[in-house]
Structure 1
Amino acid sequence: MVAYLMEGYNVSISRACRVVKLPKSMYYYKNVRDDSETIDKLLELSERHPTEGQDLYYSRIRQQGLLWNYKRVRRVCLLLGMNKRRKVRRRVPARVKVPLIVPEQAGDTWSMDFMCDVLMNKRRFRTLNIIDDYNREAIAVEAAYTIPAVRVTQILERTIHEQGKPNCIRVDNGPEFNSKEFKDWCESRGITVQFTQPGKPMQNGYIERFNRTFRENILDAYLFEDINQVQVLADEWMEDYNYSRPHEALGGITPDLYKRLNCGDTRNSGEFPTSPQFQQQ
C-alpha cells in the first residue's frame, strides 16, 4: 500500500506511511528469520516417523542437540501442515480400579500379547509382542503366519537367553497362554503367569499401549508382500523405539536411557537430555 501511494501520488515515504498509519520503521523492516534448517529437519523426521506429532518431533530434535524452542518447532510444523489429526470418536477403555504397578526393577515383569494383520495377498499373520513393564522396553516382536503355544515357549526361551528371566509374565486369556504347554514351561522355569480378567484389556495396559504404537507405526503404515518384510521393519522399528524414541511416560527419555539412569549405569547419559516439554508435565 505504501509503495502504491508513493508511485501513484508521488508522495514521500513518510507521508505514505502516515496515511496508512504504518510506523516508518516497519516499512524498512526485513524479516531475517531463516527456518530452512528447521524445515529440513522436520521434513526428515516426518518422512521417517510419519505417524508422530509435533511434540515427539520436538523431543527428537532436542535429543539430537538442536536448541530450537518449542514455539519455533510448532510454528514450522503448522506452516508445513504437520499438525497431527486426531480422531473425534474414541473407544472408552474399561476402567480398572487398581492401577498397574510399575515394577521396582528391570526384568521383573514382562507383558505379552498377540496382534493380527494381513499381507498384500490377503494372507493373515500374527505378531507376538513382549515388553518389560519397568521401562516399556520392547523385548521382542516376532512375526509369523501361526504362533502356537510351542512356538511361544521357543520365542521366550530365546528371549530369556538374551535378556534374562523375568519373575512374572502378564498375559490375557488367549488359548496359547491357557495351554498346558505354556503353563508347564513357565512353571518349570519358576515364572509366575498373571492372567488378566476376561474383557479387561486395560489390566494389561502397558502392552496395549505398545500395541497401539506398533500398529500406527508399522502395521497400518506399510503394505507387506511377505512375512520377512514384516520382521525386518519390526526389528528396525524396535531399535528406534528402544534407543531413540522419547517416551512421555518415562519423562521424555528413551527406555534404554531410563534403565541405565535408574540402574546405576549413566554412560553417555548426557547425550540424551530430558525434553523440557515433558519436564513441565
Structure 2
Amino acid sequence: MVTPAARREAAAHLRSAYEMSERRACRVLGVDRASVRYQAARPGDGVLRDRLKALVQERRRFGYRRLHVLLRREGHAVNRKRVQRLYREEKLSVRRRGGRKRAMGTRRPLETPLGANQRWSLDFVSDQLTDGRRFRTREALSLVVDTSISGQRLARELDKLIARRSRSAVIVSDNGTEMTSRAILERTNRTGVAWHYVAPGRPQQNGFVESFNGRLRDECLNEEVFASTAGARTVIERSRTDYNHVRPSAHGGLTPEAVRLNLAASRLRNVTSCAGRPLPSAQQIGHQTLGLS
C-alpha cells in the first residue's frame, strides 16, 4: 500500500469486512484520517482526452511532447506529465516506420459497428492446389482467389466492391505488406475511407474476419481438393453464396442476406410511414448488422 488510493481502499475494506470505525481502521493501517477522507476535486479529463485524440489524428507522427505544446497553445492549462499519462492510457504512441513508405491507419480504439457498411474487415487465408502451389482468398463481401494478390489488386477489388455495393466508413486489416503498400496508401488518400490497422500480434482486434476465416477453412477449404485456381474460384464462390443465402447464422437462424433485407425493409417502413417516430436505436439493430461485415 504505497499510494493514497490503495490506503483508502484498504481502510474501506477493514470498515466493511470487520465493522471497524474509521478511526480504528486508520490506526491499524497507520494512515492519516484526512488522507482517507480526501475527495479529489480535479475536473475530469474527458474534454482533454477528446482533444488529444483529435490532435493525434491530425498529427500522426507527433509524440506527447509536441502535442503538449499544441494543447498549451490552445489554452489548455495542462502540464507535460498529465499529457503523457493520457497519451499512454489512450495507447496513442507513434509507430516506428519501416524501411519503406507504408500506409498508416487510425490510432484510436475501434468502436463496435452498429449498422451496415460501417466496418469492413480484410484478411488473407491460404490453401494449396494438388500440385503444391499455394493460393490465397480474401473476404470483404466477396472472395478473391489467386496464386498472388498484390496491393494494387487489392485496391482494384475494393473499388469494384464499392461500385457494386457502397463504401464503408472504416476498413480494418492487419499489417501485411499488401495492406500497407503504396497502392493502398494512394487509394486511402484518394477515397477518404478511414483505414485502421490492428496492433501487431493482436488478431483478436479483427475478430469478425478471424471468425469467418475459421468457418471458411473448416467448412470449405479443409473439405475440398483443388486442382486449379479456376476450380477453386468456383467452389469458394459457391461457398460464399451458401454462407450468405443458405447457412443459418447466430441471428435467430436467419441467413446474413435475410438479416440485411429485414433491416433495409425496417428502415424503409420507418422513413415512409412513421415520419413522426424515431428510428430504431443502434442497440436494437446493432446485433443484426454485425454479421454483414
Find out whether 1:145 has 2:147 as its counterpart.
yes
Q: Unaligned 5+ residue runs, structure 1?
A: 1-98, 131-138, 268-281
Q: Which residue in the other structure is 1:171 paired with? A: 173
CA drift at 1:167:
1.2
Q: Which residue in the other structure is 1:123 paired with? A: 133
Find out whether 1:253 has 2:254 as its counterpart.
yes
Q: Which residue in the other structure is 1:211 paired with? A: 213
2:229 to 191, 212, 227: 227
Find out whether 1:162 has 2:160 as its counterpart.
no
CA drift at 1:229:
1.0
Q: How large is the RMSD of aligned CA atoms in angstroms?
A: 2.1
CA drift at 1:252:
2.1
Q: Which residue in the other structure is 1:264 paired with? A: 265
Alpha-carbon displacement from aligned partner over 1:48-102 (angstroms, at most 9, x marks no partner): xxxxxxxxxxxxxxxxxxxxxxxxxxxxxxxxxxxxxxxxxxxxxxxxxxx9754
CA drift at 1:264:
2.5
Q: Which residue in the other structure is 1:197 paired with? A: 199
Find out whether 1:105 has 2:107 as its counterpart.
no
Contact preservation (8 Å) 1:260, 1:266? no
SS of the aligned residue for 1:176 comes to: coil
CA drift at 1:266:
9.4
Query: Match for 2:255: what amino acid?
Result: T
Alpha-carbon displacement from aligned partner over 1:111-151 (angstroms, at most 9, x marks no partner): 01011111000011111221xxxxxxxx1110001001000
Contact preservation (8 Å) 1:171, 1:177? yes
Query: Match for 1:170: what amino acid?
Result: V
Contact preservation (8 Å) 1:100, 1:205? no
CA–CA distance in structure 2, aligned partners of residues 245 and 128 of structure 1? 19
Alpha-carbon displacement from aligned partner over 1:137-190 (angstroms, at most 9, x marks no partner): xx1110001001000011111111111111110000001111121022022111
CA–CA distance in structure 1, aligned partners of residues 114 and 264 of structure 2? 10
CA–CA distance in structure 2, aligned partners of residues 145 and 256 of structure 1? 29
Distance 1:162 1:171, change over 3 A: same
Counting only pairs closer than 5 Å after superposition, residues 11-26 of structure 1 correspond to structure 2 as none
Counting only pairs closer than 5 Å after superposition, residues 9-88 of structure 1 correspond to structure 2 as none
> Number of matched residues?
161
CA–CA distance in structure 1, aligned partners of residues 192 and 208 of structure 2? 23
Q: Which residue in the other structure is 1:5 paired with? A: none
Distance 1:183 1:156, change over 3 A: same
CA drift at 1:251:
2.8
SS of the aligned residue for 1:178 comes to: coil
Query: Match for 1:118: what amino acid?
Result: Q
CA–CA distance in structure 1, aligned partners of residues 111 and 263 of structure 2? 17
Q: Unaligned 5+ residue runs, structure 2?
A: 1-108, 269-293
Name whichever of 250-259 and 192-201 sits farther off.
250-259
Q: Which residue in the other structure is 1:237 paired with? A: 239
Query: Match for 2:123: what amino acid?
Result: D
Q: Give the TM-score taking structure 2 as reference length.
A: 0.52
CA–CA distance in structure 2, aligned partners of residues 160 and 145 of structure 1? 24
| Identical-residue share of aligned pairs (%) | 29
SS of the aligned residue for 1:235 comes to: helix
Distance 1:100 1:237, change over 3 A: farther
CA–CA distance in structure 1, aligned partners of residues 217 and 130 of structure 2? 16
Q: Give the TM-score taking structure 1 as reference length.
A: 0.54
